Amino acid sequence: DIQVTQSPSSLSASVGDTITITCRASQTITNHLNWYQQKPGKAPKLLIFAISFLQSGVPPRFSGSGSGTDFTLTISSLQAEDLGTYYCQQSYSIPYTFGQGTKVQIK
């Protein structure tokens, strides 16, 4: 199975900050990398697919980049409603594995 490792496991930032979450796969996954946001008590929501494509309705302050095995989710101008846990997921090889999550808190 492909292992997916996120860092950091948690972070705290202020409204208006730019934050970055990284995701590393144990082998190349080409462009098969998705990002999800999960707010407390809610189901996950797709933010970004295929590394950098924004899902419909997602604000443009969210962006994704990377290639091969290393990927990044960036949130520019962090908003209070962005608190929650963010997960990356590889969809290159079954089982489609998720990272362990990054909890984002607002200072």
* Interface ranges with another protein (CB under 8 A): 32, 34, 36, 38, 42-46, 49-50, 55, 87, 89, 91, 94-101
Q: Which two tokens stand for residue 91?
A: 């969809």
Q: Is 80 left (phi over 0), alpha (psi -120 to 50) or beta?
A: alpha
Residue 13 vs 54, nearer CB to another protein:
54
Report the distance separating Cα 13 and Cα 80, nearest Å: 10
Residue 14 vs 93, nearer CB to another protein:
93
For the bound state, the minimum distance from the C-beta of residue 43 to another protein, rounded and expressed in Å, comes to 4
Report the distance separating Cα 79 and Cα 34, nearest Å: 21
Residue 12 vs 30, nearer CB to another protein:
30
